[in-house]
Amino acid sequence: MGDLLSAAGLIVGVIGILYGVWFPEIANAQAINVSGRNPMDSKAERDKLSLALWGRAAPLAVAAWLLSLVLAADVVAIVGESLQAIAGRGSNTGWDYDAVRACLVLVEVFAVAIALNLTAASVGLYQTKKKLTPR
């Protein structure tokens, strides 16, 4: 379990660092105002949106979702066992706490949060790019 936590923590850390480095570029692309723009004259904006979407936000979202998917089975088992322990616990029963397992659940929560945020950013970038695409 410790090796899994180390690998998952490293991956979510890399995704988080890349997101932090690329966030200004993603945010600048999200801030592009499309109202009143002629799609035929918006190639620079479309290129900026494409890079932010396909070169930054979408690949990171996919990576975060894949990490979440890989961890899901173990995390569901850990949470299930924890809920059973809480439900079946008598007043004098000791608590068998495992920090490694708790940290794995926390890594999963962070991975899902990053994935949701990047998915929302990707959808927004795609919609903005679509508005600037000539028909």
- Between 97 and 125, whose confidence is greater? 125
Count of structural domains within the chain? 1
- In this structure, of 28-37, 38-47, 49-58, 86-95, the range with the lowest mean pLDDT score is 86-95
Whole-number pLDDT of residue 94: 61
pLDDT of the residue at 47: 93
pLDDT (0 to 100) of residue 134: 85
Per-residue CA distances from 30 to 49, 54, 56, 63, 115 (Å): 8, 13, 12, 21, 17
133 phi/psi in degrees, rounded to 5: -90, 125
Mean pLDDT score across all residues of the chain: 89
The span from the CA of 68 to the CA of 13, in Å, is 13
- pLDDT tens-place string over residues 65-85: 999 999 999 999 999 888 887
3-state secondary structure the chain: CHHHHHHHHHHHHHHHHHHHHHHHHHHHHHCCCCCCCCHHHCHHHHHHHHHHHHHHHHHHHHHHHHHHHHHHHHHHHHHHHHHHHHHCCCCCCCCCCCHHHHHHHHHHHHHHHHHHHHHHHHHHHHHHHHHCCCC
Taking 80 as the threshold, does the pLDDT of residue 32 lie above it?
Answer: yes
* Mean local confidence (pLDDT), 98-127: 93
Q: How many CB atoms lie within 10 A of CB 89?
A: 11
Amino acid at 118: L
Note the pLDDT tens digit of each residue in 47-65: 999 999 999 999 999 999 9
pLDDT level of residue 17 (50, 70, 90 thresholds): very high
Instruction: Write out the residue range of the structural domain in which residue 56 sits.
Output: 2-131
Confidence band of 95 (pLDDT split at 50, 70, 90): low
Find where tokens 């690329």 sit: 22
The residue length of the chain stands at 135
